[in-house]
Amino acid sequence: MPGHLAQGLSIWLHHSGAAFLPDHAVLLVADVHLGKAASFRRLGVPVPAGSTATTLEALGDALASLGDTPVKHLVFLGDLLHAARGRSPALGAVVEQALTAWRGMCPGLRVHLVRGNHDRAAGDPPPEWGIELQTEPWVMGPWALCHEPQPVAGAYSLAGHWHPCIGLSGGARERLRLPCFWFGDPAHHAVGVLPAFGDFTGMHPIQRRPGDRVWAVADRSMRVVPEAAR
């Protein structure tokens, strides 16, 4: 879904939770948390298997959805790996094999990681993954790419970390919680937050402000949430 936040701020949104910056040929995803489900199972928490494969498949779909539009860079906005347990011999092998196979399908794509809090705890990805490490804020033209939402002078920040969602009425007293893109008014709150991309992540309700723009994500589609829906 192509859109403009303000003059010179063009961004395309995808129902997977990814965002594309057409002027820079950059695809952004936040909070992938590879290995999270496996880490929970290792601790005895009964959660579904296969989240890493599902997440990487969704990432491939997001790239494919752009068709002939060139994508030169993929940027993870922090929390690529969930925990140091994901680097253990057994768990690490599963994640590494899946990511190595995925990287083999897009060898010409430059991949970057803006370190997040979970990445600092888990440790940097191994060199063979071919991921270039960046420190926030990573300024790219009018954008500041971050993990933690934060204002950056002279730029519009794009971040993750919060796993934003919004509550919507489903009728008959039903209340839905949907992941969402949350963009502040560039004139007053020049920070946008992407939904968590990972298949097995929690969500946190946003505190919407006047002038904010919100897109809810559900069932491989998106919808603009008007301010009246706060």
Handedness of CA 51, 84, 27, 103 (dihedral sign): negative
- Cα–Cα distance, 64 to 90 (Å, whole number): 31
Given this model, what pLDDT does residue 16 score? 92
CATH code of 148's domain: 3.60.21
What pLDDT sits at residue 99? 77
Kindly give the pairing relationship between strand 156-159 and strand 164-171: unpaired
Per-residue confidence (pLDDT) for residue 43, from 0 to 100: 42
For residue 106, the model assigns a pLDDT of 80
For strand 26-29 and strand 73-76, is the pairing parallel, antiparallel, or unpaired? parallel
pTM assigned to the model: 0.86
Domain count, the chain: 1
Q: Give the domain extent around 187.
A: 2-229
**Residues 156, 221: Cα–Cα separation, whole Å:** 25
From first to last of its 230 residues, the chain has per-residue pLDDT tens of 767 788 789 999 999 999 999 999 999 999 987 865 455 445 444 344 446 778 888 888 899 998 889 899 999 998 888 455 444 555 556 677 777 788 878 878 999 999 988 677 677 887 877 889 999 999 999 999 999 999 999 999 999 999 999 988 765 555 788 999 999 999 999 999 999 997 666 789 999 999 999 999 988 889 999 986 55
Q: What is the pLDDT of residue 41?
A: 42
Q: Give dist(CA 212, CA 184) in Å, integer.
A: 5
Closest CA to 117 of 157, 84, 72, 147: 147
What is the CB neighbour count within 10 angstroms for residue 213? Answer: 18
